Amino acid sequence: MTDRIWTAALLVIGDEILSGRTQDRNIAQLATWLNVQGIRLAEVRVVADSEDAIVEAVNILRARNDYLFTTGGIGPTHDDITVDSIAAALGVPVVVHPRARQILEDYYTTRGGLTDARLRMARVPDGGELIENRMSGAPGIHIGNVFIMAGVPHIAAAMLDSLTGTLEGGLPVVSGTIGCWVGESEVAGLLRDVERAHDGVAIGSYPFFREGRTGANFVVRATDPALVDACLADLTAQLHATGREVVADGI
Amino acid sequence: MTDRIWTAALLVIGDEILSGRTQDRNIAQLATWLNVQGIRLAEVRVVADSEDAIVEAVNILRARNDYLFTTGGIGPTHDDITVDSIAAALGVPVVVHPRARQILEDYYTTRGGLTDARLRMARVPDGGELIENRMSGAPGIHIGNVFIMAGVPHIAAAMLDSLTGTLEGGLPVVSGTIGCWVGESEVAGLLRDVERAHDGVAIGSYPFFREGRTGANFVVRATDPALVDACLADLTAQLHATGREVVADGI
């Protein structure tokens, strides 16, 4: 555990996200998981099923982050081009991974056998290791600092579960939330001043309109739980001082 | 109307997405809207509330797409840095837009007045024009091929509604609006049935709470103006049949 900030990027691969057909769930899922590992999700890109787009994004994102995760495009059909594209980005050939082949053979023994299409899911960029998952036969792939995962959220979740505790990170970010029935513009100066008074803390302001009333939740984030508590207490006191009710844990 | 493919990019700005606190809704929302405009969502990036990250992404994405949309970071608080960052990307100063100031003055007349914090929401990159919205006082901004929108999905939706049919794409889209003092949930079935009865038409429902009353505007969209007119007439008649007043061109 160190003081330096560890960062990750996520590359979401898939026409179904860009067409609006599928609502992405992996950004929030990965972000939440990374927080616990002490790794900050620094940037996300969503690209189409296009090798050029994937290669460009992979090479930029893996170079400037400690880790790069990808989701999507590792299934058995013709539009699943993630493995080939990442191999191209890394300048290595694609090979069939013996252990992946064995996993798929076992998995499909009672499911109609290992067809050519299914065997596509045993292909990895040369040098890749497997990220096993308990949800489906097809494994994810780990090569260098790149982690190649499924697009289906519950399968991606199972792959993250396999990786839990295995990645080096820093201090996890902790957060606390309070809510207030106030328009954020009425307390903008107060928020800024409280944030400035607490070094190492970031305050996010998230307004909403609910049941005919304007309100906002204020989220305080830091790596030190004591800093979060002190800042929350100060913010609560200052909102109280303006005569407003504050709701612990947010509205 | 042309055969060429028109593309757009989306830049989602906000720590709340990267921290996992907020599930993004704007990617799917924009993608779906763009489909109707005949424009393809080609790529998405999510960046933190960081000027450097915003500038880099804006300049790459606006150069290689017909349109760039951004969501997030245009509110009144200290973490809202989108306008300043985009102005920096474009190499122009930030100015107060007179019409935006007027809109905010009008909006806050009965809401405590236009404070310095609220006036921040009238600032635009020099040369920017406004994207008005029915949901809140603060407008979005249009400058060059960049469209700067709110992060709150229903406000972003209202801004997209203002832009509907105004962008050149592969197929023109027309729309019409009616308003009704009704909770949209009371007429959800009616809206669905009317939409189903008019093939090729999409009906958007945009609820609001104003002057102590609940209402909604219903926006009918299609590529054929005759279809829009027929659907609007049907929708108006069916709302009348439930005893409700309907306001032509919306509330």
**DSSP-assigned states of every residue in A186-247:** GGHHHHHHHHHHSTT-EEEEEEEEETTEEEEEEEEEES-HHHHHHHHHHHHHHHHHTT--EE
| The two three-digit tokens of residue A238, written as one number | 């200052």
Instruction: Flag whether pLDDT at B204 surpasses 90.
Output: no
Residue type for position B244:
R
CB contacts of A23 in chain B (<8 Å) are 25, 27-28
Higher pLDDT, B54 or B171: B54
Find all residues with CB under 8 Å of A81, minimum gap 6, and list them: A49, A51, A54, A73
Query: In which residue are the tokens 């954020």 written?
Result: A184
Find all residues with CB under 8 Å of B21, minimum gap 6, and list them: A175, A204, A206, A219
User: How confident is the model over B132-138, as a mean pLDDT?
Assistant: 77
Instruction: Flag whether pLDDT at A242 surpasses 80.
Output: yes
Instruction: Flag whether pLDDT at A22 surpasses 60.
Output: yes
Higher pLDDT, A137 or B7: B7
* Minimum mean pLDDT range among A46-60, A113-127, B11-25, B179-193: B179-193
Residue type for position A32:
T
**Which of B35, B79, B118 is opposite residue A204, by nearest beta carbon?**
B79
Contact A84, A51 (CB under 8 A): yes
Higher pLDDT, A208 or A226: A226
Strand order in the sheet with A129-131: A129-131, A140-143, A146-149, A67-71, A6-13, A39-47, B39-47, B6-13, B67-71, B146-149, B140-143, B129-131
- Which CATH code fits B174-248? 3.30.70.260
Report pLDDT for B185.
Answer: 67
* Minimum mean pLDDT range among A51-60, A65-74, B23-32, B130-139: B130-139
CB contacts of A185 in chain B (<8 Å) are 75-77, 115, 117-118, 121
Report pLDDT for B28.
Answer: 96
Report pLDDT for A127.
Answer: 97
With an 8 Å Cβ cutoff, are A185 and B22 in contact?
no
Q: How confident is the model at residue A1 (pLDDT cuts 50, 70, 90)?
A: very low
User: How confident is the model over A127-134, as a mean pLDDT?
Assistant: 91
User: How confident is the model over B120-147, as a mean pLDDT?
Assistant: 91
Report pLDDT for B1.
Answer: 44
Report pLDDT for A70.
Answer: 98
Report pLDDT for B173.
Answer: 59
* Residue burial A19-54, b: 16+ Cβ < 10 Å; e: rest: bbebebbbbbbbbebbbebbbbbbbbbbbbbeeebb
Q: How confident is the model at residue B172 (pLDDT cuts 50, 70, 90)?
A: low
Mean pLDDT of chain A: 91
With an 8 Å Cβ cutoff, are B40 and A18 in contact?
yes
CATH of A6-163, one of 3.90.1150.10, 3.40.50.1370, 3.40.980.10, 3.40.50.10210: 3.40.980.10
Give kind and range of the element (H or E) at residue A101.
helix A98-108
Highest mean pLDDT out of A139-148, A151-160, B33-42, B99-108: A139-148
Contact B178, B232 (CB under 8 A): yes
In chain B, where the domains are located: 6-163, 174-248
Give the three-class secondary structure for B238. Answer: helix
- Give the B window 191-230 contacts with A, CB below 8 Å: 209, 212, 214
Higher pLDDT, B209 or B4: B4
Tell me the per-residue pLDDT of A90-126, one tens digit each, with 9 for 90 and over: 999 999 999 999 998 998 888 778 888 788 889 999 9
DSSP annotation of A98: H
CB contacts of A48 in chain B (<8 Å) are 42-43
Does any CB of chain B come closer than 8 Å to the CB of residue A109?
no
User: How confident is the model over A9-23, as a mean pLDDT?
Assistant: 89
With an 8 Å Cβ cutoff, are B20 and A42 in contact?
no
Tell me the per-residue pLDDT of A38-63, one tens digit each, with 9 for 90 and over: 999 999 999 998 999 999 999 999 99
- Give the residue on A whose Cα is nearest the Cα of B208: A212
Task: Note the residue count of chain A.
Answer: 251
Give the three-class secondary structure for B166. Answer: coil
